[in-house]
Amino acid sequence: MRRFYVENEYGERVQLQGGDVFFYAPEGLGYEDDVEYMTAEGFYIPVTKKPAQVPVQGSLIFVPDNAYDNYKSFFDWVLQAQNLVLAYKPTDTWYYVRIHVQNVEKSELTTMRHLEVPVTFMPLSPYYTPQNMNISIEGADAYNNKTYTYSYPYRYANTNIAGQVEFIVNAQIDCDFKLTLKGAISAPIVTIRRLDTNAVVGKVDMSAMSAQLGESLVFSTVVGESGVKLITPDGVRDMTTFIGFTAYDTFFRIPANVPCRMELEATTLIGTSATLQVFRYFRTV
């Protein structure tokens, strides 16, 4: 049986299958393209094609016993949220889509004392499911290194390739990603290339940045979250303006269904780790 829930930016969830509210007769879970065609002697040639924004619609059924109170409680929660995600599990995998609750039609109680509320969830992203990959970074002599409490007003050139990971992202369209680099790390540069052609997909130059022990650098291409942030025990600092320029794209998507490799360089010789979180995107699930 398929299942749904809604989640806000704090990870708070409201189940839409049972309990106080039930998502009934959902529609719009497929996909649609906006296409312009050129006519040529009875043939139709696509000129432009882009995904259409297909609303997910249905009815929220609030069960008897406090149906009106549960309705108000639910939409108080919805309207206080800055970001909402609709989670959908058609079989054995959860898929997610960022949404805006665009339309709600409140009615009276039915003869069965249910409150049936037609609702429109407008998608703000493709369907996605996160895929995490870890990479360890060690210098050539990681166990013989020394660390110091002071630093010099200059830095050495990149002298060691820190690590790499090879992967294939199974998805329907190219995918955004989020890379977390845990400190201590200095002057990281990240390259992603296709292994079938050896072409560089994109390169992120963070050589003007560093993270100490207990800190992290987080680079994201996710719409609405793109850029670099330094996460410290004292808070978050936006580092996007310190990204260096290269001959390759900085904000790029990982190609779907082709072998790729992430290569990570850094000047530090201290062992650290990184997590590559890929958002596998789907037109329909």
Among 125, 144, 171, the domain boundary falls at: 125
Residues 150 and 254 in one domain: yes
Residues 186 and 271 in one domain: yes
CA 245/CA 243 separation, integer angstroms: 7
* The pLDDT value given to residue 41: 85
* The pLDDT value given to residue 163: 74
* CATH number of the domain that residue 183 is part of: 2.60.120.880
CA-derived radius of gyration, the chain: 24
Domain assignment of residue 67, given as a range = 3-125
Say whether the peptide bond before residue 184 is cis (omega within 30 degrees of 0). Answer: yes
From 128, 121, 135, 120, select the one nearest 166 (Cα to Cα): 135
pLDDT at 124 over 60: yes
* The pLDDT value given to residue 72: 93
Among 94, 125, 156, the domain boundary falls at: 125
Q: Letter for the amino acid at 145?
A: N
Quickly count: other Cβ atoms within 10 Å of residue 129's Cβ. Answer: 16
Region 216-244: mean pLDDT is 95
Q: What is the largest CA-CA distance in the chain?
A: 77
Per cent of the chain over pLDDT 70 is 87
- Name which of 5-14, 93-102, 158-167, 252-261 the model is least confident about: 158-167
Residues 144 and 205 in one domain: yes
pLDDT-derived band at 162 (thresholds 50, 70, 90) equals very low
Region 52-72: mean pLDDT is 90
Among 80, 110, 125, the domain boundary falls at: 125
Residue count of the chain, please give it: 285
pTM, rounded to two decimals:
0.81
